[in-house]
Structure 1
Amino acid sequence: MTVPNRVVLPAMDMNLCVDGEIEQGDIDHFVARAAGGTGLIITGCCAVAYPVGCASTKEPGLSEDRFVPGIRALADAVHAAGSKLCVQMTHHGKVARIDTVEGRPLLVPSPPGAALDLSALGDNTPEELRRMAAVTGGKQPTYHEATREDLAWLVRCFAEAAGRVRAAGGDAVEIHCAHGYVLGGFLSSADNKRTDEYGGSLENRARLAVEVIRAVKAEVGDALAILVRVAGREFGEDGALTTAEAVRAAALFEAAGADAIHVTGWGRNPFSNFTDGPLPDRVGAYTDLAAEVKRAVSIPVIAVGRVLPEVGERAIAAGRADFAAMGRQLLADPDLVHKLRAGEPERIRPCINCYVCVQENFWDGTPVCAVNPALGNEARLPPAPAARRKHVVVVGAGPGGLEAARVAAERGHRVTVLDKSDRIGGTLWFSSLTTPDNQRLLNWLKVEVERLGVDIRLKTEATVSSVTALRPDAVVVATGAVRERPAVPGGDLPHVHTRDTLRALLTGVGEVARIPRLLRVIAALGKLSGITTSPAAIRAVTRRFLPTGKDVVVIGGSLVGLELSEFLAARGRRVTLLEEGQQLGVAMAMPRRWTAVRHAGELGVTIHRHATVQRITREHVEFRVGDRTLTARAAMVVTASGVSALAPLAEELRGVVSQVHVIGDAGRVGYIEGAIHSAWNVAALL
């Protein structure tokens, strides 16, 4: 099989099928990536024994001829767009939720041992827990240790499924032997405790996958390429699959007839180490694992795991991999390959690693993307050209304002952006300090509005008179949320900061009047030196010098408070985090939230839940937890609670300007996802 380039879309479940049959939404999704230039399209999980062994009834089935027309329609559409189609074949084994729903025991190599540590779920809201439980109807799983008859049946299922892919005109199949699915379960000694010929040695544990590969090869011959997905390492449990074992298994798979090895990774407990695998938070997380496998095989190796374009380029050039698989990045920007081909990598809309997309899979939903509102509804791309060119004035150069300006200008409008700050980005700029991936989004927005000729006027206060003087046809208000000081005694002391005054402290702009004189001088010197104009520079400098005392209390444990706590603790501060409720990081997607809470604990952040602040003194914060009154030393207090939506300018403009729209946190606090999506929705209709 010859593909147009070395970029691969790895399997990302979209949950758009109906009773296992591929629908138009799924086709549109994959075709958008193919039309954007992606060389090889791999579908999400497709069930070889549908509905047996399924994680969802919304995943494609491969077990009956009724599924062939949908696969054929997908293959034809992908081919017409210039790409090749690979169908991933799976049996989910111990995570086959539909088996539990329908009263079947889960097919496993051996009964599972100790239960997973579920303590991270303490940071889930009741609504999230309800939605997760609803997927299995509240039923508890039971297990069936696979017999030889079961294994023979399973091998036939994979072979017959591959035959249907061939009949449908597909180009390749991918046999999934990772992520705890049944073949991966047999391969890992953490799951496989058998004493027969399918357990014990690595060769025995790989035997089932080898039999599947051989059966598929016998069924399809050279009509389809056969990919095998294997974890280059499993994380988080004793006895988990090691890299040395994965390398040996890959060689066995090649000998059995595999045409390529796709090297992934897997965190064995999704509630504690999902961000180790299968969706890592570290850039290029599995390229070293792919390189180890490549040294042991002569067939192509696909690297995955936050493979940004430059990471994939280096890995291929160094001979550490043959193909670069980019999942979340291609969800964020389906035109990635075309932009690379045009020599415009700066125009690629970046994935910000927020895990909003994958969170939906925990309750069988269709993934959404914080930065790409068209994901799952590709018919929205591209936004239609405007019927009449208008002058659109956007107030606020944060993420919502810049996205509104970008989409409006893309549609043909003349756009003017006003912002009272000395730089674009708003809260996105500040959040780049704690979350560097956000800086990539800001850089992209900056490139796009400049390319489109958007008129950005900084250090410009937006008032009714200054806005109306521009004679706009429409005004979009994107002024962000209002952040209040704690309404307790001592809440107005000079060492008590909101996110806005903390930004002023670190950048030298904004509410500097409330900062003590010495710290104002330090901030001004940083501004003069240019350090405070770069989030990356601030991150680096503050590891050596931070203009705060050692003891910091952060009030509010949602997204902002949790990220700030981690940021400050990583810079040697003794941080106490106070949260009124039970859950921390609620505005974060669940996998990122679970990891952030764990990281905060590892960095020594002292966390108090159900904590109510009573008063703030110059040296302490006094708070209550239940019937106890406690104190925490505080040279600085940062309040990260009390965030509310408010857009007074919009109210003043109504009746003066014909169209006034409010987006982002000014209308409803929703952080980056809310800002980008609300901006898109408004600008696409102007």
Structure 2
Amino acid sequence: METANRIVLPAMDMNVSEGGEIEQTEIDHYVARAKGGAGLIITGACAIAFPYGAASMKEPGLSDDKYIPGLKALADAIHAVGSKLCIQSTHHGKVARIDTANDRPVLAPNPQDYSYSMKAMADCTPEELAKMGAATAGKQTTFKTMSKEDIDWLVETWADAAERVAKSGADAIEIHVAHGYILGVFLNQRDNQRTDEYGGSLENRARLACEVISAVKARVGDSLAVIVRVSGEEYGQEGALSLAESTEASQLFEKAGADAIHVTGWGRNPFDNFTDGPLPNKVGAYVESAGHIKKHVSVPVIAVGRMLPDVAEKAIKDGKTDFAAMGRQLLADPELPNKLAAGKPETVRPCINCYLCVGESFFDDTPFCAVNPSLGNEKVLPLRPTSASKHVVVIGAGPAGLESARVLTERGHRVTVVDKADRLGGTMWFSTMTTPDNERLLRWFKQEIKRLRISVKLGTRATGALMRELKADHVIVATGAVRPKPDFPGGDLPNVQTGDTLRAMMLGTATAQEAGFVLSTLGKTGRLSGLTKSPEFVRQFTKYWLPMGKDVVVIGGSLVGLELAEFLVERGRRVTLLHEKQQLGLPLAMPRRWTAVKDSEAHGVKIHRNVKVDRITEKTVEWTEGGESFSAPASMVVYADGTTSAAPFAAELEAAGIAHDVVGDAGAVNYIHGAIHSSFKVASEL
């Protein structure tokens, strides 16, 4: 099988195929990535015995000929735009939620003799817990130890499924031997405690996967390329699959008939180390594993795991992989391959690694992307040109304002962006301090503003007079949220900072009274020299010198407070985090939230939940927790709570009779994803 390039879309479940039937929405999703230039499209998980062994009633089925027309429609559509199609085949085994929901024991090599830490559930809302429980109808998993008859049935069923894939006209089939699915749990010694020919040695544990590969190859011959997906390593539990074992297994898979090995990774407890795998937060997470396996097999190797374009290019050049699988990157920008081929990597809209897409899978729901509003709704593109061009003034150069300006200009409107700050980015610029992935999005917005030649007026305060001077036909208010100082005793002391005053300090616009003489002087010096315009410089510089005392209390443990606490403790501060509620890290997507809480605790942040802050003094913060009184030293207090939406300028526009819309946090506080989605909706319809 020959592909147009070495870029692969790996499996990411869309959860839109009702009753196992592939729907047009799913076809549109894959076609957008194929049309965008990806050489090989791999579907999300497709159940070989649907609905048995399925994780969702919305995943495609391979268990009956009635599913072939949908598969064929997908294959034809992919081929029509010049790409190749691979169907991922699986039996979910112990994580087959549909079996559990329907009172069927899940298939396993043997009953599971361990339980996972559920500590992370303390940071899930009741609504989230209910949605997760609904996927299994709130029932507990029971296990069925697979007999030889069960094993023979599984092998034959897989071969039947492969034959249907071949009949559909697809180009390849991927056999899933990872991520806790049936073949993957047979492969590792922690799950597989069998003493027959399918347990014990690595060769025995790999036997079932090899039998499936051989049966599939015998059934379809060379009509399909056979790709085998395996974890290079598993993480988080003793007895997990090691790289040495996965390398030996890959050699056995090649002998059984595998035409390629797709190297992934798996964090065994999804509630503890999901960000180790299967969706890692580390860039190029599995390159080294892929490189090791590649040395020991002669078939092509695919590497996945945040394979950003420059990382993938180097890995291929260094001989560590043959193909780069880019999942979340292609969700964020389906045109990524075409843009790279055109020599314009700077125009690729980046994934910001926020986990909102995969977070929906925990709820058996369709993923959405923080930076790409068209994910799962491809019909909104291409953008509809405006029927009457207007001069639109966008107030605010944060993500909401920049997305509004971009979409409006693409549609044919003339746009002027106005912001009182001296740089683009708004609060997103400040967020790059704690979340470096946001900086790539900021760079992309900057180049889009430049590419589209959008007029920008920085250091300019929006007024009604300015709107009249600019002859605005329409105004987009994207001024962001308001972050007031706390209203409890001591909230107005000079050692108390808010997100707004910290941002002003970093931008060099804070007064000495707001930020203290040393801090404001540093900010102004940096602003004048241009140093603080580089988020990377500020991140690195503050590791060596941060002009604040050693004891910091952060009040508010939602998204901003949690990440800021970790940022400060990594810079040598003794940080106490006080949160009035139970759940930390809202509205971070669950996998990222769980990791953020775990990492904060590991780095030494002292976390207190369900507290009532009583007062702030010049040297301490006092609070009540569980009926007892406590205090912590505080040379600085950061109030990271109380963020509210507000658009006071909208009232002035209303009074003046100027047409306007309010977008982003100015209308409703939903951070970057809310800013971009709300702006896209307004700008694509104006």
- Counterpart residue number, 2:418: 418
SS at match of 1:160: helix
Structure 1 residues 48-97: Cα deviation after superposition (integer angstroms, max 9, x where no partner): 00000000010000010000000000000000011000000000000000
In structure 1, list runs of 5 or more residues that go unmatched: none
- Counterpart residue number, 1:400: 400
- Counterpart residue number, 2:659: 659
- Counterpart residue number, 1:520: 520
Q: Does 1:7 align with 2:7?
A: yes
CA contact (8 A) 1:474 1:657 kept: no
Higher mean displacement: 528-537 or 287-296: 528-537
Change in Cα spacing, 1:511 to 1:251, as seen in structure 2 (3 Å) is farther
Q: Does 1:76 align with 2:76?
A: yes
- Counterpart residue number, 1:233: 233
- Counterpart residue number, 1:258: 258
Structure 2: which amino acid aligns with 1:420?
K
Change in Cα spacing, 1:656 to 1:528, as seen in structure 2 (3 Å) is closer
* Partner Cα distance (1:517, 1:331) in 2: 46
Report matched runs for 1:484-523 at 5 Å.
484-510=484-510, 513-523=513-523
Change in Cα spacing, 1:511 to 1:147, as seen in structure 2 (3 Å) is farther
- Counterpart residue number, 1:294: 294
* Partner Cα distance (2:520, 2:219) in 1: 73
Structure 2: which amino acid aligns with 1:327?
G
State the Cα distance separating 1:510 from its structure 2 match. 4.3
Structure 2: which amino acid aligns with 1:426?
G
State the Cα distance separating 1:468 from its structure 2 match. 2.5
* Partner Cα distance (2:212, 2:536) in 1: 49
| Root-mean-square deviation over aligned CA pairs | 0.9
- Counterpart residue number, 2:212: 212
Structure 1 residues 434-493: Cα deviation after superposition (integer angstroms, max 9, x where no partner): 000000001001111111111010000001221222111111000000101111111111
State the Cα distance separating 1:657 from its structure 2 match. 4.3
Higher mean displacement: 460-469 or 81-90: 460-469
Q: Does 1:321 align with 2:321?
A: yes
* Partner Cα distance (1:658, 1:571) in 2: 47
State the Cα distance separating 1:513 from its structure 2 match. 4.3
Q: TM-score, normalised by structure 2?
A: 0.99
Q: Does 1:613 align with 2:613?
A: yes
SS at match of 2:651: helix
- Counterpart residue number, 1:368: 368
CA contact (8 A) 1:473 1:657 kept: no
- Counterpart residue number, 2:97: 97
State the Cα distance separating 1:103 from its structure 2 match. 1.2
- Counterpart residue number, 2:243: 243
* Partner Cα distance (2:523, 2:448) in 1: 30
* Partner Cα distance (1:423, 1:514) in 2: 20
CA contact (8 A) 1:501 1:511 kept: no
- Counterpart residue number, 1:580: 580
Percent of aligned positions that are identical: 61
Structure 1 residues 135-158: Cα deviation after superposition (integer angstroms, max 9, x where no partner): 111111110011110000000111
Provide the aligned length of Structure 1 versus Structure 2: 686
- Counterpart residue number, 1:544: 544
Change in Cα spacing, 1:196 to 1:272, as seen in structure 2 (3 Å) is same
- Counterpart residue number, 2:310: 310
* Partner Cα distance (1:594, 1:106) in 2: 27
State the Cα distance separating 1:672 from its structure 2 match. 0.3
- Counterpart residue number, 2:183: 183
- Counterpart residue number, 1:145: 145
Structure 2: which amino acid aligns with 1:633?
P
Report matched runs for 1:551-630 at 5 Å.
551-630=551-630
Structure 2: which amino acid aligns with 1:467?
M
Q: Does 1:283 align with 2:283?
A: yes
SS at match of 1:526: helix
SS at match of 2:116: coil
Structure 1 residues 389-425: Cα deviation after superposition (integer angstroms, max 9, x where no partner): 1111100000000000000001111000000000010
* Partner Cα distance (1:331, 1:38) in 2: 12
Runs of at least 4 residues off by over 6 Å:
none
State the Cα distance separating 1:527 from its structure 2 match. 2.4
Structure 2: which amino acid aligns with 1:421?
A
Report matched runs for 1:425-504 at 5 Å.
425-504=425-504
SS at match of 1:476: strand
* Partner Cα distance (1:414, 1:312) in 2: 38
- Counterpart residue number, 2:55: 55
SS at match of 2:156: helix
State the Cα distance separating 1:654 from its structure 2 match. 1.5
SS at match of 1:554: strand
State the Cα distance separating 1:172 from its structure 2 match. 0.2
Higher mean displacement: 625-634 or 272-281: 625-634
Structure 1 residues 617-655: Cα deviation after superposition (integer angstroms, max 9, x where no partner): 111001111211100100100000010001011111015
SS at match of 2:532: helix
Structure 1: which amino acid aligns with 2:679?
A
* Partner Cα distance (1:456, 1:657) in 2: 24
Q: TM-score, normalised by structure 1?
A: 0.99
* Partner Cα distance (1:569, 1:18) in 2: 47
Structure 1: which amino acid aligns with 2:504?
A
* Partner Cα distance (2:351, 2:148) in 1: 44
CA contact (8 A) 2:90 2:176 kept: yes
